[in-house]
């Protein structure tokens, strides 16, 4: 099960990643012939492994990571959506898979709302669902941070494409709130950006279109928030429930 969790690392939350690392370290130490039976590390693993295993299995059984493992022959597949954003010093991006549903339910997910709607953007008349695939992000170099905002937006998309190309099922669309990114990329492949040339070739090969939505649309807004968290050095913390009041212990 540790192997299964490691295979799905790209879909795990920070909390489940931490639990997976506990299992991984336990396997390493228990399989190490140089670690004696009375080693304190083994006792620590015995105490921590059960709860870590419950965390990993609970998340797996919830079905959330498994949603991302759709078969390439899935007839319900509509499109792969790339959402990326580049701020001055950082970028973020995520991959979504859009699948058609037979349900006529009007309870649409917030990511499907906004104007234009995802159905309008993709030209799909059936109700659709959005499945999260994987999240990416990082920082720009000092040189890259000095480039124009449009160039950084395009670089964010190229970085996302390079990292996620094995997850892409056609047709593939990029959604952006920067109208300039929908225009021709004006000799981007000829600029002296070194390795960016090969990344641009991935864009040429995989992306079927770049679609524009307003800046307040839910999709780019979420990605912008992620990029700002990276830029400010903040980390996601899994919410925990703290008791509002604990009765005092009688003396």
Q: What is the pLDDT of residues 192-235, one digit of tens each?
A: 566 778 888 888 899 998 888 777 776 777 777 767 776 665 54
* Mean pLDDT within 114-128: 73
* Mean pLDDT within 244-248: 42
Task: Tell me, rounded to whole angstroms, the distance of Cα 93 from its chain centroid.
Answer: 7
Same domain? 73 vs 185: yes
Same domain? 34 vs 123: no
- 213 or 51: whose pLDDT is higher? 51
Same domain? 20 vs 41: yes
- The answer to the question of residue 111 being in a domain is yes
pLDDT value for 231: 65
Same domain? 101 vs 182: yes
Same domain? 217 vs 127: yes
Alpha carbon distance 209, 239 (integer Å) = 37
Would the pTM count as exceeding 0.75?
no
Q: Domain residues for 3?
A: 1-62
Number of domains composing the chain: 2
pLDDT value for 149: 82
Same domain? 38 vs 149: no
- The answer to the question of residue 246 being in a domain is no
Looking at the DSSP bridge assignments, the partners of residue 131 are 97
* Mean pLDDT within 80-105: 82
Nearest to 20 by CA among 45, 46, 2, 43: 2
């Amino acid at each position: 099960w540790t192997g299964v969790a490691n295979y799905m690392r790209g879909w795990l939350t920070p909390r489940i990643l931490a639990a997976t690392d506990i299992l991984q370290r336990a396997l390493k130490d228990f399989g190490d012939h140089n670690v004696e039976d009375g080693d304190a590390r083994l006792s620590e693993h015995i105490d921590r492994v059960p709860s870590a295993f419950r965390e990993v299995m609970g998340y797996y059984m919830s079905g959330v990571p498994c949603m991302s493992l759709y078969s390439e022959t899935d007839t319900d597949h509509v499109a792969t959506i790339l959402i990326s954003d580049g701020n001055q010093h950082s970028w973020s991006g995520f991959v979504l898979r859009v699948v058609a549903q037979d349900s006529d339910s009007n309870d649409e997910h917030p990511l499907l709302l906004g104007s234009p709607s995802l159905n309008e953007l993709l030209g799909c008349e059936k109700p659709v669902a959005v499945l999260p695939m994987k999240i990416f992000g990082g920082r720009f170099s000092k040189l890259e941070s000095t480039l124009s905002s449009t160039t950084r937006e395009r670089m964010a998309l190229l970085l996302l494409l390079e990292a996620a190309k094995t997850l892409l099922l056609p047709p593939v669309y990029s959604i952006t709130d920067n109208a300039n990114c929908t225009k021709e990329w004006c000799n981007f492949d000829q600029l002296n950006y070194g390795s960016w040339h090969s990344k641009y070739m991935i864009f040429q090969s995989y992306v079927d279109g770049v679609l524009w939505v307003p800046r307040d649309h839910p999709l780019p807004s979420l990605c912008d928030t992620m990029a700002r968290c990276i830029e400010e050095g903040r980390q996601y913390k899994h919410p925990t429930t703290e008791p509002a009041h604990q009765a005092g212990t009688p003396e």
